[in-house]
Chains A and B, each alone.
Chain A
Amino acid sequence: MTKPDSLFASIDETFILRLAFIFSAQFALYEGFQDYNRGSGHTEVIVLTLVIYGVSLLVFVMSLLPSSVVLKFRDLPLLPLLLVMVTSVYVVAEISYRGAYRTDVLAFSHYAAMLFVNQGANPYTQDMTKALDLFKVLPSDLTPLTSGTSLMTFQYPALHFLVFVPFVLLGLPDMRWVLVLFEVGVVLTLYLKGPRKLRPMLLLPLFAGSDLMINFTAASVSDALWVLPLLFAAFCLERPLTLGLFYGLACAMKQTPWFLAPFLLIYLIKTDESKRLRARLWPAVKFAATTVAVFLAINLPFMLPSPTAWFGNVLTPMTADLVIHSQGLSSLTEVGLLSVGKVFYTVVFASVFLVLIVNYYVYFDKLRFAFWIFPGIALWFSYRALTNYIIYWTPLMLVSMILWYKAEQAKTRTVQAT
């Protein structure tokens, strides 16, 4: 006799679930093998690898069991994915990199949190050189300047180090585990908010390669910090105050989400064009006010004592003499194929950004859900177009898919009801 669950599940749904099972098992097997190679000789890695292989084999088998079993264990693909995520970050960070931070960003942020906890110091006025010793940052991982020296200041909004303060107090030695915590938050939020039938499929883009959820975090890239609050914001697009709260938090983490502001404002103004303009502007005003209030509440205590230092540091990516370094258009200059200066790329970036804003406004009906990747597109034309400026928008694209799916579903229900 067929179980009730499978009665309502379509053939397509179980097929998709089976696909997700096989994908997650295959990905875990791949990462398990990588970990085996990276950490050979370490007993704990061998044990973890055995567990990963065991789980992968189990999920492989379960993918081809009767539909009732597949449906009953529909959330199983989460297990191998989360397991390899945590294991691989551990193996790469602690064994391959021997605990060293591979970016100055995380070293400076961790050190800033330590300075704040131990001395109550304002990190924007401090030299961060000591962080490089503390966290064993390699010379090749510094941010070089055109003068031949490297950046030695804390360059992010205050929440980027404040977020580590509780963990410094707890004595956590490696802040990559905080990043992993944020990543797990991203995965679970997307999973729980996704349509039940298709949940496991939502994870696939996140794990289509090891960079987004494993390698970047293991290498101390800190973007997961702004992705989670922005994810919460994305699910509150219809509630301007909550949207502003979470967007303000994301902006207080790092500068990348700042580029989303014009698109969010347009979204709020254009989302319900049946209303009068004044009624449409009000949510935008509420959103903007909340965002600014949250951002200032976090940053003012550091901004007011030394505004020049705060602005100088936080605007470093726009004002400092950073060298061209990119996986975007400016890589042509980096290798000497295109002899143009940083100003060229800044002009092109600004033009693309402007064009995207105008086009989003004009073609809102068509582009309504596409705006999450627009900052990534514009940044690809900048003189520092690093992959993390683009890849971390993927979870937000998934939110758009979920919202779109739900909107379509609601529309279908309305049509069916009438």
Chain B
Amino acid sequence: MVQGRAGEDENGASNLKRVRKLTAPLSAVFLILVAGFAFINLQAKTEYPPPILDPEFNLWGSNPTLGGKTPIVWELEYKKSVGDQILLQETVTADKRALEIQIFQDGSDDNLTYVRLGQTIDGIRARALFDEEVGIWVLLQASCACKGPISGQGSIFEIETNDGTHTLDFLFVETAAEASISPTHRTILLQTPMGEWGYHSIDLVAQYRNAQWKQPDQISLSIVFSASGSATGWHTAYIHGFSVTKKTTLSSIRQHDTMFSSLPVTILGNPLAIAQCTEPSQAKYLSEIRSSEALNGVCHKGLIVDCSELGRSA
């Protein structure tokens, strides 16, 4: 009996010894196999953050310095004189959710009033920004000269990229013109009709290739809206958001835009009827403002409205 027990103990000790001998090498083999299997089967399913964070301005927080709410993820920088006003808000205009940027330039001095919403993009996000198609939906509204006609050049609405050495300015303008070029700075003019949503593709790769600039590892992307000191009055711009997608043709997106914008919508509480496009492929919209509402504060191309009683709602 005692002999049997001693035998069992010996067997147990020998088994334990074997387990101790094998556990470490088997662990290494197990880890290699698991890692190899996982690597083969779980490749190319990487979930990277999008190149542009909060591309549709979903996250808002109150900003005690500026007053009201501002997008959280986008770093805000602005400059204004005492009498100037800057307002950022979430709104719906022409059937699209949008970030509305308003500047009131009081014209008391020559200083530029501007708002910049930016973010720094680096690493894999920067590479994706160059590899994929970046699009932006914008709507420009004609400046509203309060207490008199607009003087000077009005407002400038643009997307700016800066990699520390090179700057690209994508300017949204009503009339197309030639791009301006210097060794470290390029300005690209994107024709944008007033009062209508327009989609623009921002082709960073092409711009960098044309300029023979090296693709950077880090780049800042900013939305800039400014009004010169002489552009007295309210200036408004809207951004629906950025889209970053696989490279595609622009025409299909334009067509989508046309269909989307052909619904009756409301801007700043005032009804605005947008007629169906005669030719969807032309992506051209006909718009009209009901005359009774036009004087109620909505400033559009060709109209000069007395906004003195309307405050910032114009």
Contacts and interface: CB of A to CB of B under 8 A. Distances in A.
A323 B48 contact: yes
Given A138-B75, A347-B42, A348-B38, A324 B54 contact: no
A334 B124 contact: yes
Contacts of B123: 334-336
Interface stretch (B61-69, B179-187, B202-210, B268-276): B61-69
A161 to B, nearest CB: 20
Contacts of B47: 146, 321, 323-324, 341-342
Contact of B23 (A132, A148, A321, A363): A363
Nearest to B124: A336
Given A148-B53, A336-B123, A363-B20, A344 B42 contact: yes
Interface in A174-218: none
B43 A140 contact: no
B59 A150 contact: yes
Contact of A133 (B30, B34, B63, B119): B63
A132 B62 CA distance: 9
Interface stretch (A69-77, A112-120, A352-360): A352-360
A377 to B, nearest CB: 12
Contacts of B52: 148
A347 B34 contact: yes
Contacts of A351: 30-31, 34-35
Given A150-B59, A358-B27, A139 B73 contact: yes
B38 A140 contact: no
19 contacts: A129-B61, A129-B72, A130-B61, A139-B119, A140-B75, A144-B53, A146-B49, A324-B48, A336-B123, A339-B43, A339-B46, A340-B42, A340-B43, A340-B44, A341-B45, A347-B38, A348-B31, A348-B35, A351-B30
B55 to A, nearest CB: 5
Interface of A: 129-130, 132-133, 138-140, 142, 144-150, 152, 321, 323-324, 333-336, 339-344, 347-348, 351-352, 355, 358-359, 362-363
Contact of A150 (B20, B55, B72): B72
B31 A333 contact: no
Contacts of B19: 362
Contacts, number: 113
A164 to B, nearest CB: 21
A359 B23 contact: yes
B124 A148 contact: no
Contacts of B201: none
Interface residues of B, number: 41
A348 B50 contact: no
B73 A150 contact: yes
Contacts of B58: 149
B300 interface: no
Given A140-B120, A150-B73, A342-B47, 17 more contacts: A129-B59, A129-B60, A130-B61, A130-B62, A133-B62, A133-B64, A142-B72, A144-B53, A148-B50, A149-B58, A150-B53, A334-B124, A340-B42, A344-B38, A351-B34, A352-B31, A359-B23
A110 to B, nearest CB: 15
A344 B48 contact: no
Interface string B114-131: 000001100110010000
Contacts of B27: 355, 358-359
Contact of A340 (B39, B50, B62): B39
A225 to B, nearest CB: 26
A341 B62 contact: no
Contacts of B75: 138-140
B220 to A, nearest CB: 12
A359 B63 CA distance: 53
Contacts of B74: 139
B24 interface: yes
Contacts of A359: 23-24, 27
Contacts of A148: 49-50, 52-56
A334 B64 CA distance: 35
